[in-house]
Amino acid sequence: MQNQAFQEAGLNSVYTTFEVTDLEGAVNGIRALGIHGASVTIPHKIGVMQYLDEIEDIAAMIGSVNTIVNRDGRLSGTNTDAYGFYRALTETVDVDGKNIALLGSGGAARAIAFALFYFGKPAKLEIAVRNEDIDDAKHLRKSLIAYLALPEESVGVVPLVKWNDIGDNVDIIINSTPLGMHPNTEVSPLAKEQIRKGITVMDIVYHPRDTLLLRNAVEQGCRTVSGIDMLLYQGVKQFELWTGVDAPESVMRDALMQHLQKSH
């Protein structure tokens, strides 16, 4: 995706992967070699923060960095997952004033929850999780309220087994769990009858593109948002931060789709 974008934009740049075992050494290498920027993946998204010169607000709130930008030797960390998610969702539905259910409480959920309130104004966010994840969900709720000075009633936590308590009032459902990801494609965090007709459902799983959750949502007459859009737009944001030029989005989307089709 990034290399096709560099080629399309006529930039003498290359995007490649490095397996990092010495995190501090890798960050020093970025400075020493004059590398313009980097993506950061699991397991380094949190650990890398201590070695950077500055952390942007949204990344500091989320507590993880997925993007490094080198500005004349000064390394800045940000999180484009939040932007990618928010753009993908809001191209389909406006979040302001909506009741939203977020399934899951892990790292992706944290980026999504902060993006919702950092960029938008939902009426209420319910973090819906399995019983064993209740403590994580409560911690996420507490962080949101503290960092963004939200009213206590704007964020709730509900066990998935009590979904019926909130399901009828939800306008948007967002799945941030890996349920439904290849190869376990016939699994969904919600049954079809738990999805209210005509709402919006987003699944951040992108392999496969049409997860069981999204297929059930379509049968319920819902609008759907694929995880592919989030993946694309976080990459678009990275490209623009690294290069300072507009990303060739259609070229990037085509490259991404071709790669995903090959990996099926």
Q: pLDDT by residue (tens digit) across 145-167?
A: 999 999 999 999 999 999 999 99
CA distance 228 to 187: 18
Q: What would the CATH number be for the domain defined by 83-228?
A: 3.40.50.720
For residue 264, the model assigns a pLDDT of 61
For residue 260, the model assigns a pLDDT of 87
The answer to whether domain 2-79+239-247 and domain 83-228 are alike in fold is yes
- Give alpha helix (H) positions in the chain: 2-9, 23-33, 57-62, 80-90, 107-119, 134-148, 164-167, 212-219, 227-243, 249-262
pTM of the model: 0.94
Tell me the two tokens of residue 196: 């209210």
For residue 50, the model assigns a pLDDT of 98
Q: pLDDT by residue (tens digit) across 23-53?
A: 999 999 999 999 999 999 989 999 999 999 9
Domain ranges for the chain, please list them. Answer: 2-79+239-247, 83-228
The CATH H-level superfamily of 2-79+239-247 is Leucine Dehydrogenase, chain A, domain 1 (3.40.50.10860)
For residue 92, the model assigns a pLDDT of 97
What's the burial of 166, exposed, middle or buried (CB within 10 Å: 0-12/13-18/19+)? middle
Residue 170's nearest CA partner among 202, 138, 212 is 202
pLDDT averaged over the chain?
96
Q: pLDDT by residue (tens digit) across 99-151?
A: 999 999 999 999 999 999 999 999 999 999 999 999 999 999 999 999 999 99
The residues carrying an active-site annotation are 45
Q: pLDDT by residue (tens digit) across 205-216?
A: 999 999 999 999
Q: What percent of the chain has pLDDT over 70?
A: 99
